[in-house]
Structure 1
Amino acid sequence: MIAALLAASLIGASMTADPVTVAQAHFDHVRSYRATIRSSARSGEHTEIRYAYLKPGFVRMDFVSPHHGAVLAYDPGDGKVRLRPFGAHAPPALTLSPSNPLVRDRSGHRVDRSDVGELLRNVHALQEGGATVTEGEEAVGGRTALRVSVTGAPAHAVDGVHRYRLWLDTEDGFPLKVVSFADDDDVPLETVTLDDVEIDVAFPERFFAP
């Protein structure tokens, strides 16, 4: 019932509620998710990852490209990242801080700040004093999404981002595509798509401890 009400709220968000707030409210009820994430950065870096998340903050990334086969997992209990460069069951297994350059991309993204909840919090912070505009519905990966633009106040940026364009699934508010911009620059900092999204996945035991 809660999910149905939230979905209905999102569909009407362009005329009633803030769609980012509605998306956050829905995500608050999500226990876990997984998706195929593809990103293209301004630097020219292209990444494809099979991403899994379990509250309160467990993350696992299985790399498709680059570093095919590498597995990275984050445990919020000890605040450490476990990296297996050659696969989940192959040595070596390295234990690192999430701030270590070995487990950060060229844009400086950290595994412990990589989930959808963190994204929505950043967008919400940018909304303060800024502008939020709904731009209609659009198909993304075979699903219907509400396109939303969030621009920060003048000279205000969050993690280097001044403007976001978000495509939020009209059924559950989950982000299907995100494009970020710096200042008033029309060249994206990064374009990210989330495909094959599954919500509330029952992961195997020790899935997040490869």
Structure 2
Amino acid sequence: MGDLLTEVETAFRALDNYRATVRAVAADGERRLMRYFYRKPGWVRIEMLNPNRGAVLIYDPDTRRVRLWPFGTERVLSLSLAPDNRLVRDRRGHRIDRSHVGALLDNLQRLRAQGHATPLGATEVDGHAAIGMEIAGEAGAHVGDVYRYRVWFAHATHFPLRVESFAADGSPIETVVLSEVETGVVFPERLFTP
């Protein structure tokens, strides 16, 4: 199990892109549902389904800017913002430029370096065979506000399917589920530059 995270990172490095439906539920009940698109070296497109249905955000790694269309890309109104702008961050400070699986894997490695990883064994997540691990920091070590993660990866692809994060006192922070995951997708030419 100690090598699982390395295997997951190797699998991610081999990917050029992915898309998924992302469901995030915070401990306080806040829910977000979005279509998520990623293309290396860091392009991100988020199409909000709930809340703010119709909003589209695109992060351009070359300019390090987020383009926000509050009412969809077919509307003229758009804003160009820094990724740390409060209009494009959620309440917990999540940023679009650090929202992809690679950023998650960086966080997992950083926390494991300050703590330990424990296998959770095999299970099923949304109908997919999965293997889980828990990563916890030692003596107050944390990444952001997260002191412990539980993560389940698809057995066949090593892609993360479910991520649970926990605070210092053990209380849940957020659960994120990635479903309808596709890798190696041929995206439309203008997906990231409408």
Q: Per the shorter chain, which TM-score range?
A: over 0.9
Where does residue 188 of structure 2 map in the other structure?
204
In structure 2, the partner of 1:181 is: 166
The whole-number CA distance in structure 2 between the counterparts of 1:91 and 1:44 is 33
Q: For the aligned residues, what is the CA RMSD?
A: 0.9
**AA partner of residue 199 (structure 1):** T
1:64 is aligned to 2:49: yes
Runs (4 or more) in structure 1 with deviation over 2 Å come to none
Q: Which amino acid in structure 2 is aligned with residue 72 of structure 1?
A: L
Letter in 2 for 1:76: P
Question: Residue 36 of structure 2 aligns with which residue?
Answer: 51
Asked if the contact 1:128–1:153 (Cα under 8 Å) also holds between the matched residues in 2, the reply is no
Calculate the TM-score normalised by the size of structure 1: 0.90
Identity percentage over the alignment? 45
Gaps of 5+ in 2: none
**Displacement, 1:69?**
0.7
Q: List per-residue Cα deviations over 1:95-138 (Å, max 9, x = no partner).
A: 11101000000111000000000000100000013111111111
Matched, 1:83 2:68: yes
Distance 1:70 1:90 in 2: 10
Distance apart, 1:43 and its partner CA: 3.3
Instruction: Give aligned pairs, total.
Output: 194
Alignment match, 1:33: 18
Structure 1 partner of 2:176? 192
The 2-side partners of 1:170 and 1:67 are apart by 34
Aligned residue in 2 for 1:113: 98
Shift of 1:21: 1.2
Is the 8 Å Cα contact of residues 32 and 199 (structure 1) preserved in structure 2? Answer: yes
- Cα separation, 2, equivalents of 1:188 and 1:43: 9
Letter in 1 for 2:95: R
Structure 1, unaligned runs of 5 or more: 1-13
